[in-house]
Amino acid sequence: LISQPSQPTANIGPVIEEKKTAPNGLQAKLYLEADKLEFSQGEEFTVKILLDTNSYDITAASGFLAYDRDKLAVIKIDSQNSVLTMAAEE
């Protein structure tokens, strides 16, 4: 869950994606998905971090999510439904 403490209304825009090409030419996609796109000040919302491997086998994934801490605050990281066996670093 993420809270938006400092702006009356915000729009996080479209889904954010990062595509990488594997040595065999297959692409994997790491992306964010919010439960809605517009939020009011103080409103909590959920953002999922998703990985589409395009049927490519993986053993690990890593990434860094940067955000403006004056505008957003992470309330909770939930990796319970993750297929990865390691928990997310907070």
In this predicted model, what pLDDT tens digit does every residue of 13-33 receive, in sequence order?
A: 444 555 666 666 667 778 888
Residue 24 forms part of a structural domain: yes
Residue 18 forms part of a structural domain: yes
State yes or no: pLDDT of 7 exceeds 50: no
For the stretch 31-79, pLDDT in tens is 888 888 888 888 999 888 888 887 777 777 777 788 888 888 888 888 7
- Range of the structural domain that residue 17 is part of: 2-57+67-74
Nearest of 64, 66, 58, 65 to residue 82 by alpha carbon = 58
Residue 36 forms part of a structural domain: yes
Cut 0.85: pTM above it: no
Phi, psi of 83 (to 5 degrees): -80, -15
Residue 90 forms part of a structural domain: no
Residue 83 forms part of a structural domain: no
Report the distance separating Cα 19 and Cα 50, nearest Å: 12
Report the distance separating Cα 5 and Cα 43, nearest Å: 8
Total count of domains within the chain: 1
Residue 50, classed as helix, strand or coil, is strand
Residue 17 forms part of a structural domain: yes
